Structure 1
Amino acid sequence: AAALEGQCAQATSDDEILLFGSFYCVAEALEWLARRSTEDAANGIAG
């Protein structure tokens, strides 16, 4: 999750972040994305 936060901090709106690795890594990233989407929606931020 910390690595994703770091990449999102550096990325621009034109960038895409590609994640690959073990099922464990990808599952953690999907959980992080779901949490972030929920938090953004609660704060009125459209993704």
Structure 2
Amino acid sequence: MYILVDDLNLLLLLIDSETDELLHWKQCRSIGHLESTIEVWMQMI
């Protein structure tokens, strides 16, 4: 799995690395929220 980050739109996409399928996405409220969400997701994968 990998995470695509769109920091302009504060959007995170969790992608399956074998199929390139979108597994989950999250619209964040701020850069701080984006960064903390990335940290949580990194622990999950």
Q: TM-score, normalised by structure 2?
A: 0.40
Select the structure that is richer in strand: 2
Q: TM-score, normalised by structure 1?
A: 0.39
Q: Work out which of the two has the higher radius of gyration on C-alpha atoms and give 1 or 2.
A: 1
Select the structure that is richer in helix: 1
